[in-house]
Structure 1
C-alpha cells in the first residue's frame, strides 16, 4: 500500500513538473483595470488583473508565484482564490490558495485586490510581472500588461467629494481661451528673458567660415562655440584676437573681456558681426547660449544654409546664482548619453547646477574604488531568492538583471567624463549620497560584503564598512514600503564608509578638474521605529549623554557628517529634514529649525510646501531662521508630477498636477501669492496662508536659488524622461534666471491681467522658437506636445492650443489625424466626431482630442 501511495505521489509530482515544463509564462496574457476608487467608502481602491491562458497546457493549481511592482500598499485579495503578499518595497507576489483550480487553455481568471489611496492614470498600474516556479532561481517575464482605461466616475474620482474629473477637450479649450497668436517679430528671441533686449533692424549674415576671435581666458568658450556651430558653420575657427589683424575681415564673432559682474554679459549683433563681452568666462558662455538662440530654426533644421542673425543689443545677468536641476538615476538608471543630453539642455537655458541623485533604495549608480559590492550588488536589479546576489526588481524592471532600466552604473571613467562635460558647460555637479534613509542599495551591498568576509574568517574586514547592526530587530516601514532601507548611525563603520565614499568622490572630481564644494547627504523620509532595538544604538545611548532617544541619533549623525565634510573644505547639503528638530507643542509633535547647524555652511532643499498639508511656509521658516535654502517646491517644481488629471497622462500627482504654467507662475519670494489650486485641483482659499510665515528681507538673502526636480519612478526610458522634462524645464529656467516679472509684484487687482499678457508672450515664444529649435538641437528632444482644446460654439467646433506655433490637424471620419490630415485654420462645421492633434516640425504628434459636434 505504501508503495502504491508513493507511486501515486511521484506520478502527481511528475505531472506537475511536466505542466511547468510545458507551460510558457510568456503566453499568459494579462490585463488590469480600476474597479473603483473610494472602495466601500474608504480611502482605498479596488483593482483587478485578468489572466488569460494562451498556452496549450493549463497553468498548474500550485507551484508558482507571479511577482509584480505596484506603487500602492496592497491590503488584500478580493477574488481569484489567491493570496497577495508584500515582499518589500513596491514588490508583491500572487500565489494560488487552496481553492485555486488549474487555469485551462483559453480560460481566464480575475484576481482583484484592494490597496491604499487611489489610482488615476496608467502609470499607477502594476508592472514588471514575472512568474517563478517553486524552487527556481530565475523568473520569466509575462507579456506587458494591457492597461484598460478608466472611463466611469467611480474609476477616476479619487474619493467622495472629489470634484475634479478627467480633463476634457472642452476643459483645455477653456484653459487656452486667453492665448492669442503673437507675430514672431514681436517676440523676444532669447530665453530666459534678458534684463534688457532690443532688436535694431540690422542683420548679420553668418558665413560658414566665420572667425571666433577671443581674448585670453576665453579659449575654452571659443572652442565650445566652434563645436556648437559645426553643423551650421562647419568652417568656423577660433582665433586669438591678437592674431586677427585684418581689419577688413568683418565675418567675426568677438568674445571680449568686459567689466560685467559674474555671470552677466552683453551681446550685440550688427551688420558687421557679433560681440559678446563679459567679466568672466561664465558670462561669455551665457552670451554664447543667447547667440545660439538667435540662429533661425530653419537653419538648425537644415532647410536653410543662409544664416541671418537679427541685429540685437542685449544686457543680461542672472537673478539667482544657483539655478539647478535634479535628475534621479537611482530609481531607474539613465545612460551616460542621456545625462549628456540633459546637460546640453541645461546649458542652453543657463542652468548652472546639476544635482545628481546617484544613490537610492533601488540602485547605487557610481563605482567606488575599493568597494566593488556597491556596483556588483547595489547597481543590479532582478529576481533574487536570497537578496544577497543583487537587488530585487522595482518599478517594473523585471526578473532579468540585464534590464538596463533597473541595472546600471557609471564607472569612474564615465563619471569623470560627465564631470568634464558639465564643467565645460559651466555646470557644477552636486552628487547625492542618500542617508540615513533611502539607503537600501548601499546597505544590502555592504551586508553582502560582510557575509563574504565572515565566510572567509576575516571579521575585521567584514565589519569595516557595515551599514546596519545585524542584530537589530527594529520594525519599520518607509514611505515606499521598505523594511530594511535605513543605515544605523550608531555604528562607527557607517562613518568609515562615508569617509571612503567622500574621498573617492573627491578623487574623481580632482581627476576631472571639476569643482566640488558640497555633497548632498539626503536626509529625507526616515520612518518611525528605526534603531529602537539596535544594540549599536543602545551602546551609543550608554556612552553619549547627548543621545537619549532615537531622535537624537539624527542630530548626532548629521553633526558627524558635517564634520567629515568641513574637514575636507566642503559644506553639507541635504533635504529639509536635516535642518529640523523634532519637539512638541501642546503635547503634539512639532518641528522647528534646528539651531545646531545654522552657524555652519549648511544648505537645504525644501520640497514640502504641499498646499493644505500644513508646511506651506517651511522654506520661508528655514530661510528666516538663517539656513541657506534652495526652493525645490513640489507644488511648482517637481517635474515628475503629471501634467494634469487624465488616464493617459503619465506621472505622479501626490503633490500637485504640474504643467509649464506652474514653474512659470512661481514667485520665489512670495509663492503664496500665486497659489491657485491645491494638490487635488481645487481652488485654493487664501485664508490657508493666514498665520503662515512670510519671507523677511533677511530670509530673502538666504534663498540661494531655484531647482527643478525629476524623480525617476515612472521614467522607464529616455522618451518618457524628455516628455516629463519638456517644456516644463523652460519655466524653471525662466524663473531662476529672469527678474520678477511685472505681474509678480503687482497688486491683486492688476495681477491677473498682467499675468495673462506675460503668459501669452511666454507660450508664444515656447511654441514658435524653443520647441522648433529643440526638434533638432542636440540631436532633437521628444518634448511633450500638448493636446488641443476644442469646444462647440454656434454649431461649429473651434480648436486652440497651449503653445501657438504647433500645427493642428483634424479628421471627421473617426480616424486618428496624421501629417496628411486637414490643417486646422478655423471652426469646423462638419457634424459628428471631430478628432484633433497637434504636430511639431518633424511630424511628431501629441495625443488626440475628440469632440462631438451634434
Structure 2
C-alpha cells in the first residue's frame, strides 16, 4: 500500500513537472512586441544618437530568461558597450545584429516590458533609420526561427529628436512651411501648358487635328520596321477591340519616313487632318517621334477604352541635348522582378531616357546568372539566417531568416536577362551591366569561397581558379556599410580569371539577345582604408613590381588590368569616380586628384560625390576638364532614394541631403553651382567657397556625356516603394536630359533668373498634375507615384490649404479621422474650429500622407 501511495505521488510529481515544462515551452515569440524610439540626436554633443528598444511580452506565457537570441538589421552602427539593460547586442557584419540575454535578464512575464537604451553612430531622423527584420531563435531548436511582426516606431516630434547636430538648420516640414512653398505654384489652365514632354526644340500648332482610331494604319520605311511594330502594339492598347464580325474600315495613316541628313536621335513630327508623319534618319529618332506622338494623347487613353482620339495639328522639330540619358537601378541590395524591370523600361522609354545602368551585384546579393560560375547565384543570390555564409548570404535590410524572401533573394536567369535586353533594345535603351568591384563585392567573394570549398578536396587548382581573397590575408578594415570582408584582393591572379569569365559570359548573353554592348561598369567606389595591407599576394607584388609599392598603387594596378581585359573585347571601362582618382600627399595632407594615366583611355566616369562641404563639390568638372568622359550622377540632385523631405514619416536616406521633385528639375548640368545655396545640413554655402570651385572649361563641357538618376534599393523593398521613390522625380531628370538649357539657367541676373525659374517650376508642376501623372495612373499598368502632402496656413481664423500639384483634389475631415476618397472636398478657406485633417488625392482616388492643423 505504501509503495502504491509512493508510486502515485511520484507519478503526480512527474506529471506536474512535465506540465510545468510544457507550460514553459509554450512561449510563442510571435507574441513579442518591439517598439523603437529615438531619444536624442547629437547625444553628448557627438555625431551619435540615443534610442531605446522596448520589448513587451503580449502572450500568456513568460519569455525565458535564457536560451534565446533575437536577430535584426539596423543601418546604424551600435556602440556595443553603450547598451543598457539586461541584454547584449553584438554586431555580426554589415547591418546585421544579434541580441541575447545577459545573466541578469529575468523572465519576462505576460504583459511585462523591458527597455533597452543604446547609442549608435550618426543620427536618426525618419522611419528608414529604424531597426527592422526582427526574428527569434530558441537555442533548443537551432534552425527554427520565429519572425516578430509586432514592430513599431514612436514618431519623433521634438527638436532633440529631429536635429542631427547643432549645425543642422534644415527645418522639419510643417503644414505652414509647405503652404508657403506651394504659394509660388500658380494653377494654370491645361490649354496653356506645353503639349509635349520633355520639352522639344521647336513646337508649332499647325492646321486641323487628326482623328486617331483603331483602324489607323501604320506605314514605314523598311529601316523602321521595328519601330512600326512597336507603334502598332502601342495603338492596340488604346482602343476597344472591334468585334470579329465588324467590317474593316481603313483608317487614316501614320507614316514613318527616312531622311538621311538628320542627327542620330533627331525627329520631325507633323500632324495634320489627313496624316501623321514622323521623319528621322535612324530607328532611335523614329522611336522618339512616336513617344512625342504619345505625349499628345490624353492620359485616359491608356485605359484602353477609346473609340477615337483627337490629335492636335502640330509641327515638331526635336533632338536630345545629351546622348546619354540614364537611370541607375540597383537590384542587388533588394531584388526586383523581371516584370518590374520591364515596367521601368517602359517608363524610361516614354520619357526618352536611353540608358539603364543595371547595378547587378553588391555586398548583399548577386543578381545575374553566370553560366560558367553557377555558385554566384546558388549562394550569392540568396539571403537568410546563417552563421557561415556558405550556402547563402546573411540577412540584410530586414530580409529576415527565410531564403525565400522575394527581395532578399532572387536573380535573373540567363533567359530572363536576355529577355530584358531584347525588351530594352526594342525601346532603344542600352543596358550597361555593372559588376561592382573591387569593393562592395561580398556576394561574389562568398560565392567563390563556396566554389573553393566544393573543389578543394579533389582539385586545388580548380578550387583556387576564381578565388577572390587570400585566406592568409589578415588585413582589418570596415566599409561605410560596416562590412569587414567585402573587398576583392586585386593582387590575386585568380581575380582576373573571375573578371574575364564574368565579362565573357555577359558578352555572350548580349550577342544572343542581339543587343549592343560597348562597356561594362566595374564599380570602383568606397574601398575602405586597411584593405590589402596584410595580403601575402600584395606583398609579392610590392617586392617585384617597380610601379606598385603601396596599397594605393594597387588601385591603378587593378583598373589597368580590367582595362586590358575589356580592350581585348572591344569594350571600354565605365566606373564610379574613384577609378579616375590618384591619392597624393600635398603639404602633408592626403588628397585625391585626377589620375592622368587613364584620361586618354576612354574611361567613362560616373561622378556622384558633389556633397557640399565634403571637399569634392567640383569633382565632376575637374575630371571632365582633365579629359574624362563624365556622366553627371550627382547625389545632391539625382539620388532618387533620398527622402523627399525632412519628416519622420518620409522614407529614404538623407546623407546627401533631401531630394524633392524640384531637385532634378532645377539641376543645371554645366553649372550646378549657379543655384546652389545650402549644404546637406541647410547651412549657407558661401559665395567665397563657391568661387574656389573649378568651373567647366570648353573641353570639359564637351566631355559631359550626359546625366543619370540613381535609385539605390536599400529602402525599396516593393514595386510600390520603388515607384514612390522614382516618381515624380524621374520626370525632372527627363526634362534636364532631353531639353536644352532653360532661359533661367543661363540668365546672369540672379533676380531675373529666380523669377524665370519660379514661372518654369509652376509650369512643370502643372504639366505633371494635368498631363503626366494622369497618364502614369494607367500607362504600363499604372505607377504608384508619390502624392504630395497638403500645405496649410491659419490666417485670421481661416484655414487655407494648397498643394504642390495644382489640380489634385484636397479632401478634409473635422472629426479626427483621416480623410478618404469620399471625404469633403476643399474648395475655399475653412472657418471650422478644432482639429482639421487634410489629404491630397489624385484622379483615381489614391491619397498621399495626411496632415492636420488645429484652428
Q: Tell me which of 194, 202, 206 is aligned to 1:200.
A: 206
The structural deviation recorded for 1:138 is: 4.0
Q: What are the residue-to-residue correspondences of 1:312-323 with 2, within 5 Å?
A: 312-323=314-325
The structural deviation recorded for 1:794 is: 2.7
The structural deviation recorded for 1:15 is: 10
The structural deviation recorded for 1:685 is: 2.6
Question: Does the alignment pair 1:188 with 2:189?
Answer: no
The structural deviation recorded for 1:160 is: 2.2
Q: Give the whole-Å Cα distance in 2 for the aligned partners of 1:52 and 1:522.
A: 44
Q: Give the whole-Å Cα distance in 2 for the aligned partners of 1:300 and 1:333.
A: 28
Answer whether contact 1:708 1:732 (CA < 8 A) is retained. Answer: yes
Question: Does the alignment pair 1:38 with 2:39?
Answer: no
Answer whether contact 1:257 1:278 (CA < 8 A) is retained. Answer: yes
State the partner residue of 2:176.
Answer: 170
Match of 1:109, SS state, is strand
Q: What are the residue-to-residue correspondences of 1:37-436 with 2, within 5 Å?
A: 37-76=41-80, 77-134=82-139, 136-200=142-206, 202-233=208-239, 251-258=252-259, 259-301=261-303, 304-436=306-438
Q: What are the residue-to-residue correspondences of 1:284-683 with 2, within 5 Å?
A: 284-301=286-303, 304-454=306-456, 456-683=457-684
Comparing 206-215 with 629-638, greater Cα deviation is found at 206-215
Q: Give the whole-Å Cα distance in 2 for the aligned partners of 1:448 and 1:19.
A: 42
Comparing 45-54 with 136-145, greater Cα deviation is found at 136-145
Q: Tell me which of 835, 838, 841 is aligned to 2:840.
A: 838
Q: Give the whole-Å Cα distance in 1 for the aligned partners of 2:755 and 2:827.
A: 27
The structural deviation recorded for 1:812 is: 2.1
Residue 499 to residue 138, structure 1, CA distance change in 2 (3 Å): farther
State the superposition RMSD in angstroms: 1.9
**TM-score normalised according to structure 2 size:** 0.95
The structural deviation recorded for 1:145 is: 1.7
Residue 11 to residue 567, structure 1, CA distance change in 2 (3 Å): farther
Q: Give the whole-Å Cα distance in 1 for the aligned partners of 2:620 and 2:150.
A: 42
Please, which runs of 5 or more residues in structure 2 have no aligned partner?
Answer: 1-13, 243-247
Comparing 812-821 with 702-711, greater Cα deviation is found at 812-821
Q: Give the whole-Å Cα distance in 1 for the aligned partners of 2:430 and 2:21.
A: 58
State the partner residue of 2:719.
Answer: 718
Q: Give the whole-Å Cα distance in 2 for the aligned partners of 1:17 and 1:762.
A: 68
Per-residue Cα deviation, 1:139-191 (whole angstroms, up to 9, x for no partner): 32111421111112211111224333320010101111111111111111211
Answer whether contact 1:68 1:93 (CA < 8 A) is retained. Answer: yes
Q: Give the whole-Å Cα distance in 2 for the aligned partners of 1:140 and 1:532.
A: 41
Q: Give the whole-Å Cα distance in 2 for the aligned partners of 1:503 and 1:47.
A: 49
Please, which runs of 5 or more residues in structure 1 have no aligned partner?
Answer: 1-9, 237-245
Q: Give the whole-Å Cα distance in 1 for the aligned partners of 2:700 and 2:647.
A: 39
The structural deviation recorded for 1:19 is: 6.9
Answer whether contact 1:138 1:399 (CA < 8 A) is retained. Answer: no
State the partner residue of 2:3.
Answer: none
Q: Give the whole-Å Cα distance in 2 for the aligned partners of 1:510 and 1:165.
A: 52
The structural deviation recorded for 1:327 is: 0.3
Match of 1:552, SS state, is helix
Q: Give the whole-Å Cα distance in 2 for the aligned partners of 1:776 and 1:324.
A: 23
Match of 2:79, SS state, is strand
The structural deviation recorded for 1:250 is: 6.2
Q: Give the whole-Å Cα distance in 1 for the aligned partners of 2:753 and 2:407.
A: 45
Residue 509 to residue 814, structure 1, CA distance change in 2 (3 Å): same
State the partner residue of 1:7.
Answer: none
Residue 778 to residue 839, structure 1, CA distance change in 2 (3 Å): same
State the partner residue of 1:4.
Answer: none
Answer whether contact 2:162 2:172 (CA < 8 A) is retained. Answer: yes
Per-residue Cα deviation, 1:183-225 (whole angstroms, up to 9, x for no partner): 1111112111100112236221112111011111111101111
Comparing 581-590 with 303-312, greater Cα deviation is found at 303-312
Q: Give the whole-Å Cα distance in 2 for the aligned partners of 1:501 and 1:771.
A: 40
Q: Give the whole-Å Cα distance in 2 for the aligned partners of 1:818 and 1:836.
A: 10
Per-residue Cα deviation, 1:792-847 (whole angstroms, up to 9, x for no partner): 12321111111122111112222211122122222112222221111111100001
The structural deviation recorded for 1:38 is: 1.4
The structural deviation recorded for 1:302 is: 5.0
Residue 473 to residue 628, structure 1, CA distance change in 2 (3 Å): same
Q: Give the whole-Å Cα distance in 2 for the aligned partners of 1:419 and 1:372.
A: 21
Q: Give the whole-Å Cα distance in 2 for the aligned partners of 1:190 and 1:146.
A: 45
Q: Give the whole-Å Cα distance in 1 for the aligned partners of 2:135 and 2:824.
A: 44
Per-residue Cα deviation, 1:116-158 (whole angstroms, up to 9, x for no partner): 0110000110000111223613432111421111112211111
Residue 19 to residue 690, structure 1, CA distance change in 2 (3 Å): farther
Residue 570 to residue 735, structure 1, CA distance change in 2 (3 Å): same
Q: Give the whole-Å Cα distance in 1 for the aligned partners of 2:421 and 2:219.
A: 27
Q: Give the whole-Å Cα distance in 2 for the aligned partners of 1:19 and 1:380.
A: 37
Question: Does the alignment pair 1:22 with 2:19?
Answer: no
Per-residue Cα deviation, 1:509-533 (whole angstroms, up to 9, x for no partner): 0000000000000000000000111
Answer whether contact 2:168 2:682 (CA < 8 A) is retained. Answer: no
The structural deviation recorded for 1:296 is: 1.3
Answer whether contact 1:16 1:60 (CA < 8 A) is retained. Answer: no
The structural deviation recorded for 1:690 is: 2.1
Q: Give the whole-Å Cα distance in 2 for the aligned partners of 1:428 and 1:14.
A: 67
The structural deviation recorded for 1:687 is: 2.4
Q: Give the whole-Å Cα distance in 2 for the aligned partners of 1:705 and 1:20.
A: 64
Q: Give the whole-Å Cα distance in 2 for the aligned partners of 1:518 and 1:611.
A: 31
Q: Tell me which of 752, 759, 762 is aligned to 1:760.
A: 762
Answer whether contact 2:24 2:61 (CA < 8 A) is retained. Answer: no
Residue 411 to residue 14, structure 1, CA distance change in 2 (3 Å): farther
Comparing 639-648 with 445-454, greater Cα deviation is found at 445-454
Residue 233 to residue 252, structure 1, CA distance change in 2 (3 Å): farther
Answer whether contact 2:167 2:681 (CA < 8 A) is retained. Answer: no
Residue 471 to residue 11, structure 1, CA distance change in 2 (3 Å): farther
Q: Give the whole-Å Cα distance in 1 for the aligned partners of 2:16 and 2:156.
A: 43
Q: Tell me which of 781, 789, 792 is aligned to 1:790.
A: 792
Per-residue Cα deviation, 1:342-370 (whole angstroms, up to 9, x for no partner): 10000000000000000000000000012
Answer whether contact 1:435 1:523 (CA < 8 A) is retained. Answer: yes
Answer whether contact 1:562 1:572 (CA < 8 A) is retained. Answer: yes
The structural deviation recorded for 1:79 is: 2.4
Match of 2:345, SS state, is helix
Answer whether contact 1:209 1:234 (CA < 8 A) is retained. Answer: no
Per-residue Cα deviation, 1:635-666 (whole angstroms, up to 9, x for no partner): 00000000010001000000010011111000
Answer whether contact 2:239 2:306 (CA < 8 A) is retained. Answer: no
